[in-house]
Structure 1
Amino acid sequence: MKVLSTLATLVALGSSQSLSKVNDFSGTPTRLGMYSYVPKNLKTPAPIIVAVHHCQGSAQGYFSESRYAPLADQHGFILIYPNSKSGGGCFDVASDATLKHDGGGDSQTIANMVKYAVEKYGGDANRTYVTGTSSGAMMTNVLLGAYPDVFKAGSIYSGVPDGCFAVPGSTATQDPPGWNNQCANGQLTKTAAQWGDLVRSYYPGYTGPRPRVLVWHGTADSTLRYPNYQETLKQWSNVLGLTTHKDTPNTPQSGYTQTIYGEGTATTAQLVGYSAQGVGHTVPVHQNDDLAFFGIV
């Protein structure tokens, strides 16, 4: 296996694990840098996880924060970390270009990087997943909506519904990206069908399967406020055609309430939510729960 990349300077906390900067990948637009982590024990075709950082963050920083690398070594999956070069380090989730399939924004760049990883690293196009925190959580929702043909599941940490952050007139290369206060403050509400119609509008004509969705949000979030949790669940319950749900308190830990929509368990259901009592912005990454939901472990 040949990995066409150069070693980045970051060394993960307390280990020799490091990201590689991908120098021969070009996306649309070119505002995003791309980093990869490909474990030595990789057996191809291998699962791919895209992990998207928050505002004021970076690929290198989120690599350390998210702590997926030891699990990648153990289970043999590929990690992709996009890096926003915009002012403030946020991803564009406000423009039509990014919200729409093949619209030319940040989301298309990330989707193209996944295709690159399949070709160059031996990734499995049928086992590709995405996760992110805050701005990265918003991008995770956008990717699940605009690229259901690429991503099979996603885990969203303290984000907002797909399309909630749209700003009229915002462009893909605007720096910094557009910001929607109404959405951030949890003041933008829609019916489940209205949210679902937004998702469907971003890839018109698509009739294939939709990704499974895992949603995390803290009740004390003062940045992307807690009402966004229920709005996100409303959105995906409609997209996935789910009408019933069951709540289980103190799961997977004290103070968290698990909500499973439709049939299945926390690892097999199409839509699962976790409301974290008293947790602010953001909910800590639950790596093992993510991998179980993705079917990697």
Structure 2
Amino acid sequence: MPFPVPRLRAALTVLVMTVAAVLSGPVPAARAAGVALTPVTGFGSNPGQLAMYVHRPASLPASPPVVVALHGCTQSAQVYADHSGLPQVAARAGFLLVFAEQRASNNLNKCFNWFQTADSRRGQGEAASIRQMVAHAVASYGADPRRVYVTGLSAGGAMTSVVLAAYPDVFTAGAVVAGVPYDCARDVASAYSCMNPGVDLSPAQWAQRVRDAHPAWTGPWPRVAVWQGDRDTTVVPRNADELRDQWTAVHGLSPQPTRTSVIGPDSTRHEEYAAADGTVAVEVNRVPAIGHGTPVDPGTGPAQCGSTAAAYFLDSICSSHWIAGFFGLTESGGDPTPPPGPGDGTASCWTGSNHHHVRAGRATTSGGYTWAKGSQQGMGLYNTFVTHTLKESPAGYFTVADGTCP
């Protein structure tokens, strides 16, 4: 979430940069686009002056769900589509994707202006433009208005918080990736403090800010997933705790998890906060050993997606796959594995590619092949395509447990 430049300053800077580019000679041809995106104009009054793109998988059910995707600073809709893995997951699960894109004339670094009240309140600015994109997707593509979701990275994650609070009547659920709580900042200076070192408010104070975004709302609040790298120094991990406090309080839940487990090939810590009926209203996913970005897991496996060929897409776990599972659009890729209790001898299980097992220290590689640590069982070629489930029991001793791990 680089420097959030305000509109007027951004517009002047863009003008200078444009003149300089023209004087310097012809612009090199852009690389060919990857994922097919259809630009959409005339989707509404568009008070935030955002751009809208749609990705429609080859096969869609009638009245498909729609997921709105919000890129991070310095990115574009195309970059986010090409690397986040969302189109791969949309093709498997059958949902429509709407990509909102910031313009440099709004913010030089192409950050969504989540920190400006003109753009972060119901009925105005960028938040209203995103809401109009949803209405257009429902009217023109037949999307199901009861199944509308949103996710975003960094500034896009912060704007995800904005639209969830401002439009709880529109969005069923959302996923904030390396983002911040709603109404954490109201100007550039406070935006920096919000990102790092973070702002500490009580759960009740955070919840009131959400309720104030739409005071007349009495219906159910959106469910919220939080994704955070534990080495992020741009948007520090403290923000995951503040987001948890904000949304558990909105839902009337304790900030203590009802279930803790590990998921994915990198053993991401997964915390669930469930209502009395068992519905998980909030979840927090703490991704180990990564900094600021979208967690992806390149490959063709059923729980893999995305690519790391651009900045802020980090090789760890296919967050888009698990986010779609939280939304209820696809299977989550298997039940999370409860971690072993201290000294209780409980076995832990991990499913992932041979590449991830080696990187996580559960296996070794030699001569292009992979071997389970401890048992030295052969696991096949060292790559991202061969997948196994490994069981650890006792600690540090791994065996191949495909289909047999509890």
- Which category of TM-score, normalised to the shorter sequence, fits these structures? 0.7 to 0.9
Q: Counterpart in 2 of 1:173?
A: none
Note the alpha carbon deviations across 1:199-254, whole angstroms, 9 max, x for none: 11111111111000100111211111111110110000100111141353533443
- Tell me if 1:75 matches 2:70: no
- Tell me if 1:34 matches 2:52: yes
* SS of residue paired to 1:18: coil
**8 Å contact from structure 1 (residues 215, 233) kept in 2:** yes
Which amino acid in 2 is paired with 1:292?
G
Q: Counterpart in 1 of 2:268?
A: 256
Q: Counterpart in 1 of 2:4?
A: none
**8 Å contact from structure 2 (residues 185, 194) kept in 1:** yes
Note the alpha carbon deviations across 1:65-113, whole angstroms, 9 max, x for none: 11222332333211000010031110011122332211x1111100110
Q: Paired residue for 1:116, among 127, 133, 136?
A: 136
Q: Distance in 1 between matches of 2:230 and 2:191?
A: 20
| Larger Rg over CA atoms | 2
**8 Å contact from structure 1 (residues 186, 226) kept in 2:** no
Which amino acid in 2 is paired with 1:11?
A
Q: Counterpart in 1 of 2:387?
A: none
Q: Counterpart in 1 of 2:118?
A: 97
Which amino acid in 1 is paired with 2:180?
V
Q: Counterpart in 2 of 1:287?
A: 320
Larger deviation: 244-253 or 108-117? 244-253
Q: Counterpart in 2 of 1:271?
A: 282
- Tell me if 1:19 matches 2:37: yes
Q: Distance in 2 between matches of 1:288 and 1:112?
A: 26
> Where does 1:31-180 land on structure 2 (aligned, <5 Å)?
31-85=49-103, 86-102=107-123, 104-167=124-187, 180=191
> Where does 1:221-232 land on structure 2 (aligned, <5 Å)?
221-232=232-243
**8 Å contact from structure 1 (residues 221, 281) kept in 2:** yes
**8 Å contact from structure 2 (residues 54, 98) kept in 1:** yes
**8 Å contact from structure 2 (residues 152, 160) kept in 1:** yes
**8 Å contact from structure 2 (residues 48, 127) kept in 1:** no
Change (3 A) 1:54 1:265: farther
TM value normalised by structure 1:
0.86
Structure number with the bigger relative contact order (C-alpha 8 A, sep ≥ 6) is: 1
**8 Å contact from structure 1 (residues 252, 258) kept in 2:** no
* RMSD across aligned positions (CA): 2.1
**8 Å contact from structure 2 (residues 48, 128) kept in 1:** no
**Long gaps (5+) in structure 1:** 1-8, 168-176
**8 Å contact from structure 1 (residues 45, 123) kept in 2:** yes
**8 Å contact from structure 1 (residues 165, 184) kept in 2:** no
Q: Distance in 1 between matches of 2:83 and 2:211?
A: 33
Note the alpha carbon deviations across 1:111-167, whole angstroms, 9 max, x for none: 110001000000000000000111110011111111100100011111011111322
Change (3 A) 1:239 1:163: same
Q: How many residues align?
A: 274
**8 Å contact from structure 2 (residues 226, 244) kept in 1:** yes
What is the percent sequence identity of the aligned residues?
34
- Tell me if 1:186 matches 2:197: yes
* SS of residue paired to 1:180: helix
Task: Measure how far apart 1:283 and its partner are.
Answer: 4.2
**Long gaps (5+) in structure 2:** 1-30, 297-318, 331-406
